[in-house]
Structure 1
Amino acid sequence: MKRFLLLVVTTISFSLSAQDILMQNGIFNQCSPGFFYDSGGEFGNAGNDENFTLTLCPDSPGFQAQLNFTQFALQANQDFLTIYNGPDATYDEIGVFTAVSSPGTITASLTEINPGGQPNPDGCLTIVYTSNDSGPSAGWIAEISCFEPCQSIDAVLVSSTPAANAEDVIRICQGEEITFEGDGVFSSDATGATYEWDFGDGTNGTGQVVSKTYNNEGIYIVNLTVSDDNPAGCSSSNFINQFIHVSTDPDFTGTQAADSTICYGDSTDITGQVEGVTFAIDCANGGVQANLGSQGGQTYSSELELDCFLGQTITNASQLESVCLVMEHTYIGDLEIIIISPSGQQVTLHNQTGGGTFVGDPIISDGTGPGTGWEYCFSMSGTQQLSAGPTIPGGTPTPGNSVDPAAGPYLPVGNFNSFVGSTINGTWTLFIEDHLNIDDGTIFTWSLNFDESLLESDFAFTPMISSEAWDADPTITNTTGNVITVAPPNEGLYCYTYRVTDDFGCEYTEEVCINVLPEIVTEAPSNLFVCDTGMPPYIFDLEVNTATVLASSTIPGDMIVTYHNSFGDASGDIGAITGTNAYSGTDGETIYIRVEYQNSGCHEVLPFTLNVAGQPDINDVPDLVLCDDPSNDGFEEFDLSVQTLGILGTQAATDFNVTYHLSFADADGDTGELPLDYTNTINPQPIYVRVESAGDSNCYNATANPLFNLVVVPRDDASFTVTPNCNGATVTLTGLPGGTFTFNPAPTDGAVIDPNTGEVTGGTPGATYTIEYTTNGTCPSINAQTFDVIDVDDASFTM
Structure 2
Amino acid sequence: MKKVLLLFGLAFPFLLKAQQDQIDYTSANDGATFSTCAGFIIDSGGQGGPGYSDNEDITITFCPPDPANDEIFIQFNLFNLDAVGGSADSMFVYDGDNTGAPLIGSYVDNELEGIVLAASATNPTGCITIRFVSDASGGGRFTAAVTCVAPCTPPIVDAIVSGIAGDSIPACLDVPLDFLNNGSYSPSGFNIVSYEWDFQDGSAPVAQENATHTFTEPGYYTPRLVVVDENGCESMNSTGLRVYVAPRPSFEGFPTDTTICLGQSISIEATPETYGNTWNGFPNSSTIADGCVDDEQYGIAQVHTLELGGYIPGATLTDISDLQSVCIEIEHSFIGDFVLQVQCATGQTVTLHQQGGGSANLGEPVQADNVDCDDPSTIGVGYNYCFTPTATQTWVDVAVGGASIPAGDYAPVGNLNDLIGCPLNDVWTIIFTDNWAADDGVIFGFSINVNPALLAENITIDVVVPEHQDSSYWTSSYPWGSISDNNNLFQGTPDQVGQYTLNYEVIDNFGCINDTSLVVNVEEPPVVQALDDILVCNTTGTDVVQLGATVTANGFSNLVYEWTSPDNLDNPNIINPNATVTGEETFTITVYPQGAPQCYSDDQMTVTVAIPENFGFDSDFFVCPGDEEFLFAADSLALESFEWISGGSVIGTNFSNYLPAGEYQASLVDSSGCTNDTLFIIDTQDKIILNDFSLVCDDTLFMFGNQGVTTGVWSVLDDLDVTFIDENDLNTNAVYEGMGTVGFVYSEDVCNDSDTTYVDFNRYPWTEARDSVLCRGSVYYVEALHLEQNETYSWDNGYEAQATNIDEPGEYTVTVSNSCGSYSHTILVDFILCDLEVPNVFTPNGDDLNDFFQLKEYDGLENFEIAILNRWGNVIRVYTSPDFKWDGTNEAGEELGEGVYFYNVKTETWNGEILEKHGFVQLIRE
Normalising by structure 2, we get a TM-score of 0.30
TM-score (norm 1): 0.34
Higher RCO by CA contacts (8 Å cutoff, separation 6 or greater): 1
Which is richer in helix?
1
